[in-house]
Amino acid sequence: MSEQGVMVVISGFSGSGKGTLMKALLERYPNYALSVSCTTRAPRPGEVNGRDYYFVSEEEFCRMIRDGELVEYACYCGRYYGTPRAYVEQRMAEGKDVLLEIEIQGALQIKEKFPETVLIFVMPPSAAELKNRLCGRGTETEDVINARLHRAVEEAQDMDRYDYLLVNDDLESCVSLLHQVIQSQHFKAASQKERIDTIRQELKSFT
């Protein structure tokens, strides 16, 4: 099993329930660390700076890009979102599996820079269910809901570039599937070079 943590990207249409899924995964299993992103969008009621996001100005966001402090960033519905580099690198080195709940442009940037990252796309059981969930939240204006539905149409174009696709129908079974998919990454032969070298040496010593 690899000792370094794996980087896991989880994307899904706005309203796919990926936030709830992440929360359940973190509560149920100890070895995950959730990356907290920076964004230039305003906090929603109940959101806490440093827990849900780091809410920053556009000037600060641009500075972070310039200084190489973000592993990836993207513009989503007119607002910037990015993943702070330091936290991800530190927790992976400690052996934690780091979860990045980010949208598709960021996911593809990460895959290009770190091909061993596992990309998981979470989808709702149907498009109608997605619309219900978005309207049922009651936190967004109609314009924002429409922008998010348009964005979902665009995102659906690239869903097949992900490594895994999970349907978030039943929360419990989706959490346990997600955990299994992530944990299987630790057993990839490519991430166990040290173990392979050791057994090769040991076997040679018998001949």
Nearer to ligand 5GP, 85 or 179 (CB): 85
The answer to whether residue 83 forms part of the interface with ligand 5GP (CB under 6 A) is yes
Segment near ligand 5GP (CB under 6 A); pick from 58-66, 74-82, 130-138, 157-165: 74-82
Contact 188, 1 (CB under 8 A): no
The answer to whether residue 179 forms part of the interface with ligand 5GP (CB under 6 A) is no
| Amino acid of residue 170 | D
| The two three-digit tokens of residue 14, written as one number | 């706005």
Query: 7, 24, 98, 102: which one contacts ligand 5GP (CB under 6 A)?
Result: 102
Nearer to ligand 5GP, 72 or 97 (CB): 72
Q: Which of 126, 117, 114, 137 is nearest to 45 (CA)?
A: 137
The answer to whether residue 88 forms part of the interface with ligand 5GP (CB under 6 A) is no
CA distances 56 to 53, 72, 73, 153, 190, Å, are 9, 16, 13, 28, 38
Other CB atoms closer than 10 Å to residue 124's CB: what's the count? 22
The answer to whether residue 14 forms part of the interface with ligand 5GP (CB under 6 A) is yes
Q: Name the residues that contact ligand 5GP, by CB under 6 A.
A: 14, 37, 41, 72, 74, 76, 81-83, 101-103, 105-106
